[in-house]
Structure 1
Amino acid sequence: MSAALILSDAFDADSLRRLAKGCRNAKQGRRLLAIAAVYDGMNRADAAKVGGMDRQTLRDWVLRFNEQGTDGLVDIKATGAPMRLSPEQLEEFVAIVETGPDPEKDGVSVWRSQDLVRVIQERFGVSYKERGVRDLLRRMGYVRISGRPQHPEQKPEVIDAFKKTSPQPLAAHVGHLPKNKPIEIWWQDEARLGQKNGLARLWAKKGTRPRLPADQRYKNAYLFGAICPARGVGAGLMMPFANTQAMQMHLEEVSRTVARGAHAVVLMDRAGWHTTSRLNVPKNITILLLPSKSPELNPVENIWQYLRGTFLSNRVFEDYAAILDAGCQAWKSLSANPTIIHSIGMRKWAQCRFSHGTAIIRY
């Protein structure tokens, strides 16, 4: 025979049902109703069914109710295992993660879970499993993501200076234009698309390793692309080569896409076909060159990542015509979604409004 449930004298069935009626915590409300049934004299098995639990669970909740009152019927959130690294050790561990491994000393160029298990054991004498290290990193706000490319000879101070002083070169390039003439800010770049295609991440069942097509042939073409994030429009051309002639045709395509009566400032890198004097730049376009070795300044680089990851990766192109068709379809899909162009292309440092005496620049 199980022992009878002894309830606190501080409550009764009616008071608990009133509390359950106004309770916002569904689980706590069910427990209140189950204990109210016990107050009414219902047997433990039937009272447990009222709360959607078994008899033993009801007994455990009654004990907490007697000790803590109605607050004892709320679930206690698990705090997890205690931190095994001290605050000072955690600070040092963060520095290790941020700095990255030394390939010659650590034998790897990117930290993996098993590498950090070894580092924690050697540095702090604390034993972790790989899953524990991943949980520790997540608790500190880290996720595993792909890094952005950076030129090895890049000079950060040059990039910072360009961002801070960008209105000045813009003003210098368009100072000859009539006052209050609309100015559009465009970004331009080109990407090689070919049979030797990349592989993008995809969703798959845990423990599986999906096989993806990987062509080893070398036919390719070039997608010339330019975007105006403020308007959410783009101008693209598929070309067989990246040279001055292709660049000339692309500038003319951009010129036709610029809003009527407006002038476009097109920012681009310093490729040879961008800087040659043989280019006949349309009258409604001004070219502004970005600093050398600074691809991350150009949001079209992120447009290429989006197109490859969404439309072009994990595919085999049978011939040159298939490459051209895939590139055109990818750019048409992008152009049909101005929100994507705006979201990927906008840059805070380039969102400026200023007067340079003869024109107002808006972006």
Structure 2
Amino acid sequence: MPPPTTTSSQLEDITEGSGAAPGRVGGPLSILAAAVVLAVTIMVAVSLGRYTVPPSHVLQILASGLLPEGGVSGTERTVVELVRLPRVLLAVLVGGGLGVAGAALQATFRNPLVSPDIIGVSSGASFGGAIALLFGLGTVFLVGGAFVFGLLALVLLFALTAGRASSMLMVVLGGVVLGSFFAALVGLAQYFADPYSSLPAIVFWLLGSLATATWAKVAVAVVPILLGTAVVLLLRWRLNVLSLGDDEASSLGIRPSRLRWVFLLACALIVAGAVAVSGAVGWVGLVIPHLARMWVGPDHRVLLPVSFLLGATYLIVIDTIARTLTAGEIPLGVLTALVGAPVFFVLLRRNRDRIWDHA
């Protein structure tokens, strides 16, 4: 007997009263507070650097045509518009996208330790970028190769798990297998790389960086990251239904396996787009959803927007430290791991009994 059909509005009412959506009352205020923090962080990040630009001048440049530009020099305008603003916006896209992807995957797998790397897309995208750097194919092929091989990893994952029983377990195992396979290919690319030219470029890119941010890279990242994020946010209330269990979701007219693949595809788009423009940046998709969950609770109608805003803020802060702490550029992936691992350890120790109680 087929499950009864239920309209979207009815499902939202069910999840709202099911205990799966605590924290909704403070949801809009939490989202607004996170957005304000992000806006302030953007202003500060654009101001800081080797060449300091006063925040008032940054505001005048950003509001060009609306505010008088008294005292703004041509150098300041160049630094803000062509160097720092693209980099900060790229950090917003990458950090926010990874935060949303992490929260969605943790709910999809019903496992708080899942991160975007679990589906193998990061490793596939890393191999695509490494190949482009190995042969010196330029930025266009670097971004395109990372994106194509990231999606190829998803296609292979589909091929490994299609029609299998216990599909979620197969997805996890398939992601581990594909991640190891592409990591081995990356190691092979490094082995054949010229140690004086392409090898340093490959190693630095794999460690993650936004140092080469341009408006062209922002344009490339916008499409897959915002498309995947939009799909997840539009269906975010369905994650509350999935958290009730497959039987309950099926009784409400939802097909859990099909819905999970929709979220997997959306998250794959986000991760592939992020890795293509920034390299491998870890821990964001694991730590940020936990911080957001501790703040607003497990209701994904609030959790996902807050995860995007917190992820964007976090990566902007880390990237600002990476480019200002020393005379050189510290790899972004190194800092996210150095900060993320201890923070996550503390979170697990202090909240291991309640961090996922209501998810």
Q: TM-score normalised by the shorter chain: which range applies?
A: under 0.3
Higher relative contact order (CA 8 A, sep 6+): 2
Report the TM-score, using the length of structure 1 for normalisation: 0.24
Of the two, which has the highest radius of gyration?
1
Report the TM-score, using the length of structure 2 for normalisation: 0.24
Select the structure that is richer in strand.
1
